[in-house]
């Protein structure tokens, strides 16, 4: 019985000290509406970055159309060292532009410390919404 309290206290500290998971969110913003299947080059959306891994020096953003994963929408690599808001227009990419109704799009953010990958986060949205 004398060991139960210290063990419970240690477990509580471990749970409370658990690090939050790296995550991103975004909104499409003010890009021109496109449903022709011929995307244009547009400014990146604003991103909210949470719980960036310690030591991060850059984050690479890539957009993927989940319905047509072979199409390269591009993205950008930016010097980022702390969590927070990344303003719209930080880089350019090929806009979402599904020809047949809405598609699901996913941004992947890859955090690096130098050349080492230290975290990945994704966020999905439909376009058009």
- Residue 105 contacts residue 65 (beta carbons within 8 Å): yes
What is the per-residue pLDDT for 71?
A: 94
Residue with tokens 């909104």: 27
In this predicted structure, the answer to whether residue 12 has a pLDDT above a threshold of 60 is no
Confidence at 8, pLDDT banded by 50, 70, 90: very low
Q: pLDDT tens digit string along 35-48?
A: 999 999 999 999 99
In this predicted structure, the answer to whether residue 96 has a pLDDT above a threshold of 90 is yes
DSSP string, the chain: -TTHHHHHHHHHHHHHTPPPPPEEEE---SPPP--SS---EEEPPPEEEESPPTT--EEEEEEEESSSTTS---EEEEE--S-EEEPTTSSEEEPP--SSS-EEEEEEEEEEETTEEEEEEEEEEEE--
What is the per-residue pLDDT for 7?
A: 37
What is the per-residue pLDDT for 37?
A: 92
Phi and psi dihedrals of 69, rounded to 5?
-70, -15
70-78 mean pLDDT: 96
What's the CATH class of domain 22-127? alpha beta
Q: Is the overall model pTM greater than 0.85, yes or no? A: no
Domain boundaries, given as residue ranges, for the chain? 22-127
Confidence at 67, pLDDT banded by 50, 70, 90: very high
Joined tokens for residue 55: 């030591």
């Amino acid at each position: 019985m004398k060991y139960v309290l210290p063990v419970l206290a240690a477990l509580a500290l471990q749970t409370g000290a658990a690090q939050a998971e790296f995550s991103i969110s975004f909104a499409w913003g003010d890009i021109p509406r496109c449903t022709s299947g011929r995307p244009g080059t547009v400014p990146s959306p604003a991103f909210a970055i949470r719980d960036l891994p310690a030591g991060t020096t850059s984050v690479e953003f890539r957009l993927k159309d989940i319905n047509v994963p072979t199409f390269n929408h591009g993205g950008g690599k930016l010097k980022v060292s702390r969590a927070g808001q990344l303003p719209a227009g930080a880089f350019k990419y090929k806009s979402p532009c599904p020809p047949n109704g809405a598609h699901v799009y996913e941004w992947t953010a890859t955090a690096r410390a130098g050349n080492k990958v230290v975290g990945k986060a994704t966020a999905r949205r439909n376009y058009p919404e």
